[in-house]
Each structure stands twice: as C-alpha cells, then as structure tokens.
A and B are shown apart, each in its own frame.
Chain A
Amino acid sequence: MRSTRIAVYLLVTVLTAIYLLPLLVVALNSLRTTQEIFANGMIGLPRALSFGNFADAWSGLCIAEHCTGIRSYMLNSFLMTLPATILSTFFGALLGYAISLWRFRGDLWVFGLITLGVFLPEQMKLVPWVLVLRDLGLYNSVGGLILIHVVQGISFTTLFCRNYYIGIPPELVKAARIDGAGFFRIFWRIVLPLSPPILIVTIIWQFTGIWNEYLYGVTFASGEHQPVTAALIALAVTVSEAPQYGVQSAAVLIAAAPTLFVYLLGGKYFMRGLTAGAVK
C-alpha cells in the first residue's frame, strides 16, 4: 500500500515538473537581462533579479514597428473579453433557463442544435465569419471579435446553464407563475439568484477561452486592433533586431496573468461547478 502511494506521488511529481518546466524557463528568463541570456544561454538561473523586462514589455517593446509595449494590446483584449464573456454568459443563462424550465415543443431539438456548436472546430467557421463581418462592416474591429465570441460562446454557456437549471425544481416556476410572475421576472428574481455557482464556472470558462483565443484574433484584427495573443506572435517573429528573450518572456507572463487571476479567484467554484448538477 505504502509503496503504491509513493509511486503515485513520484509519478505525479515528475509529470508536473515536465509540464511546468517551460513555464519555469519563461519565468526565469523574464527576470534576466538580454546580455545575461546571451552570455549564459536560454536556460539558467538569473544572476541578479531585474524587473526592467516587465516595464519594457508593458510600454517599450516594439511590435510591428510600434514601440509602445503590449499595453494597448492588453487593453484590446480586455475590451474584447469582458463584454464577450458577460454577454455570452447572460445569453447562455437565459437560453438554458428557457430550455430547462419552460418546456416547449421541440425544446430538446433546439438544445441539441445550440450545443452542436460546441463540436464545430474554429477553422470550419472561419470563412462564414469573414462573410458576416464583411457584410456587417465589423472587419478589423474589437466589435467584430466580440460578436464572434458571444455567438460561439452561447453553445458552451447554454450547455452549462441548462444542465444546472435542470436541477431546479419545476414547482418553483409553477409557484411563481401562479404568483403572477412572467418569464423575465422569474429569471431575474428566482433563477438568477440561484445561479452564482454556474455563472462563475461559465465566466471562468468564457474569460479564459476568449482571452487565450488566437485564430480569430489574428484573422479578423490587424495592427493596433489586435488582441494580445495575436500581438505576442508578431513580437516573436520580429527579426529586425536581436531577439529579446527576457522582454518577450515578461510579455508572455503579463498576457497570461488575467486568466490566472480569474482562475485563482473562482477556481474552487469551477471544480465544484463542473461536477455538481444539483441545486439544493
């Protein structure tokens, strides 16, 4: 028994180490100066802690001829991610509520059709989105990316919320209907107050997914409209000067910070929400 346990821990530790190694290299390099990296190689401990890389990455780094750092791209990402997360979660909750608690003819078909979106690969929808954004005049704008992420996110958020709401006793809705409440009042006053666990799960899911999304970001936005994920790549392929590994590493860490922060805030709800289908 004891030996099995030791073996399990050993295996888990090794796997974790392998998984975290690249992150470690990035984190260490973010604290080293460019000269030091050149002198001692990509992998190595910092000789002296230098936080200058973070300041450079934030406001001095040159990306595609604009030497303004990733600050403005971070802002783009926030402007895209926050509304898209909130809107897709809201619509998912509303749809999930309608499908689970207001049963109507063909409701399961509607549900199936919406959740089909979960299984469609991004690449497949690239061309249709090109056409839609072109016709709406939203090409190369944050608004266009918000639209895409809201529409695509609804599949996931509806799935999550519907599976949560199916655990709400239908008598609650019946009682409220007799009390005189309508569709939206029941949503606002009874269903939404019961929803925080699942809303936190969908918000984390949506925020992380939209923030980290790259393909649409790089396809539908260019230049100063790009979200940070797309900008980081532009940063990596800059060949006009010697690579600044330290600054690039710092930029990557800054770009990853918001999702990490969101996960730390709501992580315990996330684990609980994914496993729980029941409302008390």
Chain B
Amino acid sequence: MAALSIRNVYKRFGLVEVLKGIDLEIDSGDFTVLVGPSGCGKSTLLNIIAGLEKASAGDIEIGETLVNDIPPKDRDIAMVFQSYALYPTMTVRQNITFGMECRRVPKARQDEAVERVAKLLQIEPLLGRKPGQLSGGQRQRVAMGRALVRDPRLFLFDEPLSNLDAKLRVEMRMEIKQLHARIGSTIVYVTHDQIEAMTMATRIAVMHQGAVQQFADPDTVYHRPANLFVARFMGAPPMNTLPARLEGGDAGPVAVIGQGEDAIRLPAPPAVGREWLGKPVVLGIRPECIAEPARIFGDDPAARLVVSAPVEMTEPTGAETIVVLRIGGEKALARVAPDIRLPIGAAAPFAVDTRRICLFDPETERLIA
C-alpha cells in the first residue's frame, strides 16, 4: 500500500520553478531518502509533504487520503528538523509532550508515552533538563523522541544529522537505521550526504534542479545510475565518466577509450543497441572496479580484464589507496589495496571489473546500457 503518493507536484517562488513535476510512490514501511545538492528542491518537497508549504500544482496523498488542503497538524506526520527546533524554554519532557498536550491526550497516557520513548532512546536522565543544557547528540535524540512519541503514519527527517560532528553522525546513522528496522515506520529523509542515503535508505530519490533524476533502491542507484548526474553525485570518489566510442567486435560490442597506441578497449554491456555502433558514448565505471591485477571480482573470472595504465598520483587513505591514472589518455580514479605501492609516472597493470561498466548517451546524458 502506498503510504505516500506525490503526483505531479510543482512549486514556484515567483518566476523560479523550484519543483518541476515530482512523482513518487512511497510504500508503507519504506525508508526513502531524498538526496541531492543544495538547492535541488528536496527540503521544499519535504515541507510540502508536511503541509508547511503549499504546492503550486499537484497532489499529495498520505495513506491514500488527499491532504492538499489539510493543515500539518491533521496530516498524522512527525518531523525532525536540522536545527532540532526544540522549544528552548521547555524541559525535555515538556518538549516531548507538547504535541499530546495540543491534542488533549490524557495526562496518564502522556506519561506512559514519554516513558516508552525515553527508554527507547535512552534519554530518561535528561527529561528534566532544558535543551540548552544538552549536547548536540542529546538534542538530536530528544528531537527524535518528540517525533516518535506521536506514532504517526509518516516520519519526515530534514537533514537531522548535518549539525553533528563526524563521529556522532556515524553513530546516529546506525541508530536511526536500527530504529527503523525495529519500529518499521514509513520514513522520508532528506539529506545532501550521499553516504547517508546509501547506508540508510531502502529507496533513494536522487534530485537535481527540481526534478527526480532516479528513484530506486540503493544498489541500482549506485551500480546502474539513470544518468550522468546520478553517476557523478553518488559515490565518493564518484564514478569515472570517460568519453569513448562504441565498436562492434567478435565477442560483442567494445567501448574504445582514446586514440591510436594508447587506446584501451573495454567490453561494453551486451545489451547496448546496435544503433550505437560507431557512435560516441560516455563510459562509466566506479573506481573500485579498477583495482590491482590480482583482484578477483565476484565469482566470474571472465568478468575481469587487465589493462595497463600510467599512474599520475596516489592517495593512501589507510583502508585503501586511491590511484589517479590515465585510461586511454583520460583521467580516471582507481581503488587498490592499501599494501600496494605504485611508482608515480610509470605504467602499471590494473584489473577492471567489466560487469560493472555503464554506457551513457553523451547528448541526453541518460544511461543506455
């Protein structure tokens, strides 16, 4: 059942069109992450779902009820804000019960609900404090508590982790994911951080310039990006996108990168249409699909091709080493095992995972195979 349907939603601020026809169907129990660079319209979309802003056109349905003209308080939603938006003059307990107080929930039920949520989030010792006396991580928990206590049909998260330091962010990320697994509620989560999207989401909607670029599970978004924007936005470092030319071959189509002596020939996905033969394409390959020659990708030894490429620079991160190299004269990144030391300036052999190659139309930037 669709917990949330967004149909053809437009939003204009004066002459600026911030959302250009958004369509999303979100199933009950899904953890959907709206991810995109700042200014892509993701927060506006969240505010429209919450009812804090009105769409210029289009429909929002929550639990199969049209909510276009229903105020936020009657939409059966809860929201966690980037700034947490805790009421500064109220204690943690009052912050959590304020929503129930507005809805005239009996005092006994309020206390019961506070106990339950405080226990779930381990904030019992904080109930008597004011937000000003809490650390960033504690405030974050209280903000979650305020949302959880309501048991709403839909949770909305607006970049809830971006004000935390890096270490705490990773911890809270795991906690939110576990929490979702435990309570199984429907979540729409906005972030600009593609790692948050990858790690937490069951579905990712990548947004750019007011439009959804791709709406799929994290695996698909990562390995089969719908267009060059998604390919370059998701992943750190992002997917290599190299200009290439498609040629026919005995064992299927081949993508040729570069000219003459330096040219590298990589097998193209067999699904590519014959009409692309002889035409320029953009070849996409993730850095981790270019590795040291001893690497075996998956369980298919045939999916492996060793090429020779000059090394320009190496960046050891500890867990792995990022290598800047030239494939057919084009700059690309590879990720090799940390114990490999490559001489700068010399050519070295690299194994390429040919199963993971994507091809894009250089004109429309869409995935073609």
Spell out A's residues near B (CB within 8 Å). Answer: 169, 171-172, 174-181, 185, 189-190, 193-194, 279-280
Contacts and interface: CB of A to CB of B under 8 A. Distances in A.
B73 A171 contact: no
A177 B156 CA distance: 14
Query: Which of A172, A174, A190, A280 has the most C-beta atoms of chain B within 10 angstroms of its own C-beta?
Result: A174
Query: Which of A169, A175, A177 has the most C-beta atoms of chain B within 10 angstroms of its own C-beta?
Result: A175
Given A174-B52, A175-B81, A181 B132 contact: no
A168 to B, nearest CB: 9
B52 to A, nearest CB: 5
Interface of B: 47, 50, 52, 71-73, 77-79, 81-83, 85, 87-90, 98-99, 102-103, 132, 146
Contacts of B146: 175, 179
B81 A177 contact: no
Query: Which of B52, B71, B90, B103 has the most C-beta atoms of chain A within 10 angstroms of its own C-beta?
Result: B52
A175 B102 contact: no
A101 B87 CA distance: 15
B87 A178 contact: no
Given A190-B89, A193-B89, A194-B89, A179 B52 contact: no
Contacts of A193: 89-90
B81 A179 contact: no
B52 A180 contact: no
A171 B99 contact: no
13 contacts: A169-B83, A171-B85, A174-B50, A174-B81, A175-B81, A177-B52, A177-B71, A178-B52, A178-B78, A179-B99, A180-B102, A189-B87, A189-B98
Contacts, number: 60
Nearest to B94: A189
Given A171-B81, A185-B102, A189-B98, A178 B88 contact: no
A180 B99 contact: yes
A280 B87 contact: no
Contacts of B103: 180
Contacts of A280: 88, 132
A177 B87 contact: no
A180 B90 CA distance: 16
Contacts of A175: 79, 81, 85, 87, 146
A181 B101 CA distance: 9
B88 A174 contact: no
A190 B87 CA distance: 7
A176 B101 CA distance: 11
Contacts of A174: 47, 50, 52, 72, 79, 81, 85
B189 to A, nearest CB: 16
Given A172-B85, A190-B87, A190-B89, A177 B73 contact: yes
Contacts of B83: 169, 171
Contacts of B77: 178
Given A169-B83, A185-B102, A280-B132, A177 B72 contact: yes
Contacts of B47: 174
Contacts of A169: 83, 85
Contacts of B87: 172, 175-176, 189-190
B246 to A, nearest CB: 51
Given A171-B83, A172-B87, A179 B132 contact: no
B94 to A, nearest CB: 9
A169 B82 CA distance: 11
A186 to B, nearest CB: 10
Contacts of A178: 50, 52, 72-73, 77-79, 99
